[in-house]
Amino acid sequence: MSPKEGGNFAEKPYQVKYITDPDQKELRELALKNTPAIMKTAYGNINKLTRFKARMAKFTYIIAPESEKSKFSGNIIDPAKAHELIERQRAYIEKKGTLIEINGYYGYGKGAMPVQWFYTPEAANVAGMQQVLAFPRSAIESNEQLNQPFKPKFRLVFTAGLVLDDQPGKLAIIVDLDNWTTYVMGSDYFGETKKGVLRMLNEYVYRLGGLVLHAGAKKVTIDGKAMSMGILGLSGTGKTTTTFSKQGELAQPIQDDMIVMWPDGALTITENGCFAKTYGLTPETEPVLYAGSIHPDAWVENVFPNEDGTYDFSKGRLTPKEVARLKDMLIASGAPADNVEAFIQGKVKIDEVVDDYDIPKDGWDFTVWSQNGRSIIPMKAIKDAASFDNIPTMKSLGILNRDEGPDAATPGIVRFPTPELAAGYFMLGETSKTSAAGKERGKTRSPFTQPFFTSPFGLQAKRFSELAAKLPGLQTWLMNTGYIGGDQKDEEKGKALKVKIRHSSAMLQAMLSGKIKWMKDPDFGYEIVDVNAPENAELLKQVPKEILNPKSYYESTSRMAEYTAWVEKMKKEREEFLAKYKVDPNIVKAVACRC
């Protein structure tokens, strides 16, 4: 089914004053005037403390009758109920009397998609952030087109201040795929506007025969030859970090979050900047992202502000004095005023409301700073970014798994010898839940790391295998960016190993350079580094053998019973997961490795 040519939009759908395509200076002024819990920092950029610290997938709904529920991967909402909420949003907008209108493109060249965003003034910061990620009309359109009214194919309407008291979570994100419009009501988190458009793009591209991948991309030059590398991963797996790390003679970031694979084998990008996770940033470990996040043109969410206006990117627990300093911002972002005051007065101690993993009880989130801090960095502020006009063929495509826990036994890096095995693991999308997912912990699976694909997830495996076949010489792989044998607490006690950024860079460098001697893993059928091969001696100087082959770690620590149990558990769970989505039996068989 081909998509309609956009939503046949009325040019000015609301009876309000429009502020159309203001520049970044004006958007910053609007944000400082209208957006709660916001501040200008010592770097000159803007930092906003949001009520919501992550996207709310459980409150996201596609408009469809109950009889069509099987056609979609997520929640649905009855059309009549959706219409009532959309009209409530209209009344809110017209009562406010003003809308910020941003017109631009997601994608560049062949993949350019015209999009129109509307924001009420309290979300001026979100408008500013979105404008950075979108390509301006001047980058895509001819002079003749620029003189004509803008013609969007997608539209998104964002009302952060519209609290829906009668709805679960007091918010709703409503997706109208018939008219290519998304309505965001009640959330102030930037991810809802970014993913609102990308969710529609997923469906649009799929109908055209392509596939959107939740992946970063970079141009890597090895032995004088340029290639593109794609890196898939859920939030918190290190996708952006890996995209901006260096391999070969030159590594140039192209994209940090979403890329498009087309039926002709082409690769296109979506955004004109980077939405980076900031927790733990240092100038030593991630110099590009660190420099970008303190750049005057960046926009920032949920990064701890020091008293002098600088950032602490690794903030954890707060002291009563720090809470007192930020009291107004914390309450404006939703912290219960009584709890804030009780903590400041010392009536409640932090150990009473926060567990050993720094997860606070409900109502006490303000005592531990969110690890889901984010920065929006324009590509112009990113050193050595690749040109969008000459993106080379993709030759390497991998997935990141931030494994942790007592059964964290995923090898540091693996290579897939067959398309079926690659399609299976890409469909699994395994990782551990992070702070970006809220308070939940534990392992999760998300097909193709893609929570924004609106149709049944099983369709992605078939489409991926079709597209991968059109990319000759494509190398597919998986990398563990988490732990071996435990988690952060275990590593601190010397009972687990952490896969560090330098380990990841070394493994990727060796793989891309063709310097790894691989061996077949007898349990799972994929290829792992042969730690006994002389050819891998140089890599072993940089990465512990227990990370490259976790089985040796479990053997050396007398924990082989745990490893054996993990192998059988993973085979069973993976097989069941893939079968649930009606994945091709050959793919299921390859992953189960029961041949």
Domain boundary among the residues 374, 407, 438 is at 374
413 and 484 belong to one structural domain: yes
Give the helix/strand (H/E) hosting 90. Answer: helix 79-96
The pLDDT, as a whole number, for residue 6 is 64
The answer as to whether 305 is a domain residue is yes
The answer as to whether 499 is a domain residue is yes
427 and 480 belong to one structural domain: yes
458 and 575 belong to one structural domain: yes
The pLDDT, as a whole number, for residue 5 is 63
424 and 548 belong to one structural domain: yes
The answer as to whether 418 is a domain residue is yes
The pLDDT, as a whole number, for residue 434 is 57
Per residue of the chain (595 residues), what is the pLDDT tens digit? 456 666 678 889 999 999 999 999 999 999 999 999 999 999 999 999 999 999 999 999 999 999 999 999 999 999 999 999 999 999 999 999 999 999 999 999 888 999 999 999 999 999 999 999 999 999 999 999 999 999 999 999 999 999 999 999 999 999 999 999 999 999 999 999 999 999 999 999 999 999 999 999 999 998 889 999 999 988 788 888 898 888 878 889 999 889 999 888 788 999 999 999 999 999 998 999 999 999 999 999 999 999 999 999 999 999 999 999 999 999 999 999 999 999 999 999 999 999 988 999 999 999 999 999 999 999 988 888 888 988 888 899 999 999 999 999 999 999 999 888 999 999 999 988 654 445 555 788 888 777 789 999 888 888 888 888 788 789 999 999 999 999 999 999 999 999 999 999 999 999 999 999 999 999 999 999 999 999 999 999 999 999 999 999 999 999 999 999 999 999 999 999 999 988 888 889 999 886 4
460 and 572 belong to one structural domain: yes
Token pair listed for 563: 């490893």
Total domains present in the chain = 3
Token pair listed for 328: 């107004």
* 3-state secondary structure (DSSP) of residue 336: coil
Full residue range of the structural domain in which residue 320 is found: 299-374
The pLDDT, as a whole number, for residue 433 is 66
260 and 317 belong to one structural domain: no
Residue 178: is it exposed, middle or buried by C-beta count within 10 angstroms (0-12/13-18/19+)? exposed
Tell me the HSE value of 47 on the side-chain side, using a 13 A CA sphere.
Answer: 23
471 and 400 belong to one structural domain: yes
538 and 481 belong to one structural domain: yes
Token pair listed for 190: 């930037």
The pLDDT, as a whole number, for residue 250 is 81
The answer as to whether 143 is a domain residue is yes
505 and 576 belong to one structural domain: yes
Q: What DSSP string runs through 233-262?
A: --TTSSHHHHHTS--SSEEEEEESS-EEE-
The answer as to whether 319 is a domain residue is yes
The pLDDT, as a whole number, for residue 166 is 97
How far apart, in whole angstroms, are the C-alpha atoms of residue 243 and residue 541? 24
The answer as to whether 5 is a domain residue is no
Domain boundary among the residues 208, 224, 255 is at 208
User: For residue 76, what is the domain's CATH number?
Assistant: 3.40.449.10
How far apart, in whole angstroms, are the C-alpha atoms of residue 540 and residue 227? 26
User: For residue 405, what is the domain's CATH number?
Assistant: 3.90.228.20
The answer as to whether 192 is a domain residue is yes
Domain boundary among the residues 166, 192, 208 is at 208
328 and 464 belong to one structural domain: no
390 and 366 belong to one structural domain: no
The answer as to whether 50 is a domain residue is yes
The pLDDT, as a whole number, for residue 437 is 44
How far apart, in whole angstroms, are the C-alpha atoms of residue 99 and residue 120? 5
434 and 577 belong to one structural domain: yes
The full 3-state SS of 160-219, as one line of letters, equals CCCCCCCCHHHCEEEEECCCCEEEEECCCCCHHHHHHHHHHHHHHHHHCCCEEECEEEEE
